[in-house]
């Protein structure tokens, strides 16, 4: 006996833009919950405008310009002249599908159910559209080596196209305009193991497939959903909040181009109710303060590469005993041998250790060769000292560094491992360098390992992230489309190597890999593509890749694709990304907030 819960979310696209503009006060994108399916369903349950109403032959429901009708023959959704129908045909394993009979729908408040013995098909209406799900009470026979499949017949006047990742569907009208979208899937079994799920189009049929060969029932299949959208309470046009983001546990930090960074703390009621908790500013005005940020536990570090005639600085903030509040820095970091123009300011932090890159530093007469600096505090975290002592204990450089390499343009630290990008090394191919802390502590040194591309690369190291055992390095010019090169330590040890795998963009011109982040378990890598099509052309995307059971492999097949529910052209969603646990934060620095162009915003996503 088991339960399969498959959730797909239909969200109105182009028609939704018009309805929001006509009545902005009722635009659900103004809700902090945005597209989060669970919250949408909960709101719909308490708001009569999302209730299901009886009509001749069945029921009807309305949501944000999307009209749905439920009858014995199936479900039809309409948006203006766009029409799309779904009718469950069967489920099981492809060669032995259980056909289903027509049944009358049953409804209560904002929920409709079609009950067919072991299979219940259900729909929940809410502010962000119609959520579809299936509950299978028992395994439907023997697998015969095939995926569990749910088959739906489609009808209407829309063309259905699956994306390359098999996670989303786009439904377009005859003139090519997007009308509806079917959101991405994620699947888990009873043990919490993630399963593979796909949406496929086969003629006039829609196939929902789950690889359950090693699954322990019940199996849960959910989309990655938007948990919240947030912006600065005092934001102004061109602030570009979200140009940098970081998350650690229940705390998010977002940087700006306006010499400020903002802290948001998850309240007890959940992310959806999050508002700005603190504004962090420098005591001396900084210089591009906020274009980089990092967070680890109670420590936030903000980079200011334009400070002191572009010499650069980094500012350290410690959470006060009473919690985050508006404040100035607890410590300011500068390079001991810094010079004007070094642009010291790319930042990362792990525990008591801060690493700061200076990509334009001159090394042995080589201009723009670059360096990274390590600062360690014996009391920063353990005592939460108001004025922590951070000592520059190491200067990191590349053993084969040359002028123009820009080593230090991107840095990442996790525990005892530091990864540094040098995106213009090797005549623009790029490279990444790994440094492992010696037993006696951080000291001035060259790399433990150099990570190189096996091919021509293309600005490899322009973005970088590590969890200690895995390094993900972005290469925006690789293969013309962009790629992320994944490197995995062998038996826990780093050595000079070429990549273990490449994660490749599916489209050209999306700025794929401008940002990258790795989860602590190295099982997921999120890649920003701020010029991706998202909800609208050029609004931006983030692609999430999940490590296969046999380890990372070359692929362009992502597991999830996420985008802003209210994204507009040019908002650069994906310009910055950071992950903590199962929560992803994404910056959209050019997002319009009210009448403020490019005020900027950040979005949170997570599995239900």
Instruction: Tell me the pLDDT tens digit for each residue of 592-602.
Output: 999 999 999 99
Strands 148-156 and 82-93: antiparallel
Q: What is the Cα–Cα distance from 581 to 247, expressed in whole angstroms? A: 10
Tell me the CA distances in angstroms from 593 to 237, 292, 293, 565, 567, one per residue in order.
8, 21, 22, 14, 11
Q: CB–CB of 172/181 below 8 Å?
A: no
Q: What is the Cα–Cα distance from 530 to 518, expressed in whole angstroms? A: 18
Instruction: Give the 3-state secondary structure of residue 435.
Output: strand
DSSP-derived letter for residue 363 is B
**Which pLDDT score, from 0 to 100, does residue 384 have?**
59
Q: CB–CB of 606/250 below 8 Å?
A: no
C-beta atoms surrounding 554 within 10 Å = 12
Residue 303 forms beta bridges with which residues? 292, 314
- For the chain, the residue count is 608
Instruction: Give the 3-state secondary structure of residue 389.
Output: coil
Low-confidence ranges of the chain (pLDDT < 70): 1-46, 64-65, 127-128, 164-165, 167, 177-179, 181-194, 216-225, 272, 381-385, 535-536, 607-608
| Residue 17 phi, psi (nearest 5) | -60, -45
The CA dihedral of 460, 165, 500, 575, to the nearest 10 degrees, is 30
Q: What is the Cα–Cα distance from 256 to 264, expressed in whole angstroms? A: 14
Residue 400 forms beta bridges with which residues? none
Burial class (CB in 10 A: 0-12, 13-18, 19+), 418: buried
**Which pLDDT score, from 0 to 100, does residue 13 have?**
30
**Which pLDDT score, from 0 to 100, does residue 7 have?**
40
C-beta atoms surrounding 137 within 10 Å = 15
Q: What contacts 24+ positions apart, CB below 8 Å, involve 134-139?
A: 134/4, 134/5, 134/6, 134/91, 134/208, 135/3, 135/4, 135/5, 136/2, 136/3, 136/4, 136/91, 137/1, 137/2, 137/3, 138/1, 138/2, 139/2, 139/217
Structural domain boundaries of the chain? 4-222
CA angle 457, 458, 463 (to 5 degrees): 105
Residue-wise pLDDT for 462-489, tens only, equals 999 999 999 999 999 999 899 999 999 9
**Which pLDDT score, from 0 to 100, does residue 375 have?**
98
Strands 4-12 and 219-222: parallel
Those residues whose C-beta lies under 8 Å from the C-beta of residue 241, and which sit 6 or more positions away, are 231, 232, 235, 254, 255, 256, 258, 262, 587, 589, 599, 600, 601, 602
Q: What is the Cα–Cα distance from 598 to 600, expressed in whole angstroms? A: 5
Q: What is the Cα–Cα distance from 568 to 479, expressed in whole angstroms? A: 27
Token pair listed for 20: 């929001």
Q: What is the Cα–Cα distance from 281 to 278, expressed in whole angstroms? A: 10
Strands 119-126 and 111-116: antiparallel
């Amino acid at each position: 006996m088991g339960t399969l819960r498959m959730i797909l979310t239909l969200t109105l696209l182009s028609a939704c833009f018009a309805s929001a503009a006509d009545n902005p006060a009722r635009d659900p994108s103004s809700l902090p919950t945005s597209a989060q399916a669970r919250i949408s369903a909960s709101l719909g349950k308490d708001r009569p405008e999302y209730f299901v109403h009886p009509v001749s032959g069945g029921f009807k429901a309305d949501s944000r310009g999307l009209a749905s009708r439920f009858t014995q023959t199936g479900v039809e959704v309409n948006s203006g002249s766009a029409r799309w129908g779904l009718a469950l045909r069967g489920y099981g394993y492809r060669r032995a599908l259980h056909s289903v009979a027509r049944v009358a729908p049953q409804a209560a408040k904002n929920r409709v159910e079609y009950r067919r013995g072991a299979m219940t098909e259900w729909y929940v209406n809410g502010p962000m559209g119609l959520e579809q799900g299936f509950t299978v009470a028992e395994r439907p026979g023997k697998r015969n080596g095939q995926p569990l499949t749910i088959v739906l017949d489609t009808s209407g006047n829309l063309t259905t196209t699956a994306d390359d990742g098999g996670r989303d569907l786009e439904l377009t009208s005859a003139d090519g305009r997007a009308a509806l979208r079917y959101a991405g899937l994620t699947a888990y079994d009873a043990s919490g193991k993630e399963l593979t799920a796909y949406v496929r189009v086969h003629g006039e049929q829609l196939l929902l497939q789950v690889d359950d060969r090693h699954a322990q029932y019940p199996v849960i299949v959910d989309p990655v959903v938007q948990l919240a959208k947030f912006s600065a309470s005092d934001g102004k046009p061109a602030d570009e909040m979200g140009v940098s983001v970081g998350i650690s546990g229940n705390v998010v930090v977002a940087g700006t181009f306006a010499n400020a960074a903002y802290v948001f703390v998850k309240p007890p009621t959940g992310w959806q109710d999050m508002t700005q908790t603190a504004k962090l500013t420098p005591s001396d005005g900084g210089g591009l303060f906020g274009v980089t940020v990092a967070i680890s536990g109670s420590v936030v570090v903000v980079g200011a590469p334009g400070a002191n005639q572009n010499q650069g600085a980094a500012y350290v903030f410690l959470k006060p005993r009473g919690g985050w509040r508006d404040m100035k820095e607890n410590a300011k970091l500068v390079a001991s041998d810094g010079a004007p123009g070094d642009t010291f300011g790319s930042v990362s932090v792990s525990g008591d250790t801060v690493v700061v890159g200076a990509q334009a530093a001159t090394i042995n007469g080589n201009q723009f060769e670059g360096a990274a600096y390590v600062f360690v505090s014996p009391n920063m975290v353990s005592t939460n000292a108001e004025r922590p002592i951070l000592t520059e204990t190491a200067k990191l450089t590349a053993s084969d560094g040359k002028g123009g390499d820009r080593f230090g343009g991107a840095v990442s630290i996790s525990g005892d491992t530091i990864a540094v990008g040098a995106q213009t090394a090797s005549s623009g191919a790029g490279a990444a360098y790994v440094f492992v802390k010696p037993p006696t502590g951080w000291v001035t040194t060259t790399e433990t390992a150099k990570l190189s591309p096996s091919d021509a690369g293309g600005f490899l190291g322009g973005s970088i992230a590590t969890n200690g055992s895995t390094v993900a390095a972005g290469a925006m010019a690789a293969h013309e489309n962009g790629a992320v090169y994944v490197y995995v330590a062998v038996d826990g040890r780093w050595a000079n190597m070429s990549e273990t795998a490449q994660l490749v963009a599916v489209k050209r011109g999306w700025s794929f890999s401008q940002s990258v982040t790795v989860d602590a378990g190295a099982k997921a890598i999120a890649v920003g593509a701020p010029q991706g099509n998202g909800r609208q052309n050029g609004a931006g995307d983030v692609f999430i890749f999940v490590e296969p059971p046999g380890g990372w492999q070359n692929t362009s097949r992502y597991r999830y694709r996420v985008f802003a529910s209210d994204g507009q052209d040019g908002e650069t969603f994906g310009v910055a990304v950071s992950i903590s646990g199962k929560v992803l934060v994404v910056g959209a620095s050019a997002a319009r907030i009210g009448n403020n162009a490019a005020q900027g915003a950040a979005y949170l996503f997570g599995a239900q």
